[in-house]
Chain A
Amino acid sequence: MSQSSAILLSLTLNGEPVQVAAPAHWTLLEVLRYKLDLIGSKQGCDKGDCGACTVQIDGLPALACLTLAALADGRSVTTVEALGCGPVVHPLLDAFDRHDAAQCGFCTPGILMAAESLLRRSARPVTRHEAASALAGNLCRCTGYTKILDAVVDASERLRAEHDDGR
């Protein structure tokens, strides 16, 4: 594509301001993976069917492969890389680890971003059913989901307990 169709994007990415030039027709996923080398968000289908590319835009889950990068301009984008870099292990990551919720791990980043958004927005621990509904758009070919749901429910209970202790 010719340079002339490039646009300049300004967004907040994992808490940091970022400016990046990219072809105007690129998706957010392409900018993340092929411009910024942020490879945590996966490209499983590139057409909105698998959920492997799930990121958060202003805190809500979004499929990066269906989001034109231009639409993320001026907004806050969070990818899985942000979950892993805190000073303490995020309870969700810890639960995924303990429950063995990732086998090949390819679906995991997208699932974590969908689940984290759910847990953050929920005022009480989530049920298995709520977790399953929130993850209905995320395919996993390896695990059979049981442990993914176990991990999400477990993390949500721990987050609530921490929150209540903090009060």
Chain B
Amino acid sequence: MLIELNGISKVYVRGTEEVHALRSVDLAIDDNEYVSLMGPSGSGKSTLMNILGCLDSPTEGTYRLNGTDVSRMNANELAEVRNSRVGFIFQTFNLLPRASALQNVELPLIYNGQRRKVRRARAIQALERVGLADRMTHRPAELSGGQCQRVAIARALANGPSLLLADEPTGNLDSSTGEEIMLLFDALHEEGNTVLLVTHDPVIALQAERLIRIHDGRIASDEQLA
């Protein structure tokens, strides 16, 4: 089992008020699954994704990634998981504005301790994979939204993680660009990656093999699609 969540809860405390973003979520995801996550705004999708991506930690419950208990990891080990086991793709791309596409893709390779040559070669490879071989020296401001998201995907792929987590990857894109990005995810899944993506778009959600609906911090439904 790639991902195993047991009784995951996340409580935000704001003054005297407690916000239960996740309420005892159990979830298991296998290698090479293709899962979409839907739910109304504020239902806890991003919270769940952040926990899965080791950007955030749950208030309660255990999270096993590839059999290891993530909650026992220290800051450095968590950084390593984020660096090379998980590829995270954001709605707002989160590219460094002053760095070129190539430099952005190189970042996770730098933190992985790769030598300059190796790093350059792998970054170029990743950019070629997402079809941006001719935009490597461009900065984010000089790229379209779809191209930015491709750079972000290339960056997520750079260290060859098997798990791709995408939080509304098409949320900031028009529908045709969004479709192109979805084709990319389809292909990445075909190549053996595990893909988990959050979306508000039912059409996109139905491209996956499994659809999980989340409501008020709880899993409301979990179905295999045809």
Partners in one complex: no
Residues of B at the A interface (CB closer than 8 Å) are: none
